[in-house]
């Protein structure tokens, strides 16, 4: 399988965008924990229609638009449990948050820690919105891209949501 990579410059730093011929495989901040984790081989630094669409979506998001990306095929690499957690993350509405405990309840999982571990290994940050998950008391914890970025993203989405109301 061929993988393609583009670097996207966001207001929060450079992002590595990786796609296969059929789906987006990852979006990572270049200095984040688990950077490009799970890639079977080195991606080619070439453009691809999926990467171009991802860049258009990110442009719109960072320009202040609540993006919808249901047509963008996603294929994050992970265990069945991680896949299950990430699918629930996709259901968190734009501009809203959930706690790790509530996420664990939604998944019928006794361990919020196991859920948090899966959330932290999400390879498609921003589009699979792991930044929308908070601690039981509403504090910012556990974002592989850094808590400063998590805070920025939540504030950014709150401002977008406020403008659209």
Give the catalytic positions in this structure. 130
Q: Alpha-carbon distance 101 to 20, whole Å?
A: 34
Q: Among residues 5, 23, 15, which one has the least CA distance to residue 71?
A: 23
Q: Among residues 42, 32, 33, 29, which one has the least CA distance to residue 2?
A: 42
From residue 124, give the alpha-carbon distance in Å to each of 36, 110, 111, 141.
Answer: 10, 25, 23, 18
């Amino acid at each position: 399988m061929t993988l393609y990579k583009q670097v996207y410059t966001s207001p929060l730093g450079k992002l590595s965008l990786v796609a296969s011929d059929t789906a987006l495989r990852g979006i990572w901040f270049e200095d984040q924990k688990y950077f490009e984790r799970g890639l079977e081989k080195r991606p080619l630094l070439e453009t691809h229609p999926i990467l171009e669409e991802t860049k258009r979506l990110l442009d719109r998001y960072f320009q202040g638009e609540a993006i919808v990306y249901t047509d963008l095929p996603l294929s994050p690499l992970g265990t069945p449990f991680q896949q299950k957690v990430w699918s629930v993350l996709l259901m968190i509405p734009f501009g809203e948050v959930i706690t790790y405990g509530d996420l664990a309840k939604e998944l019928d999982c006794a361990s919020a820690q196991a859920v948090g571990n899966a959330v932290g290994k999400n390879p498609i940050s921003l589009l699979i919105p792991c930044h929308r998950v908070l601690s039981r008391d509403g504090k910012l914890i556990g974002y592989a891209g850094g808590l400063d970025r998590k805070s920025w993203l939540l504030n950014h989405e709150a401002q977008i949501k406020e403008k659209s109301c």
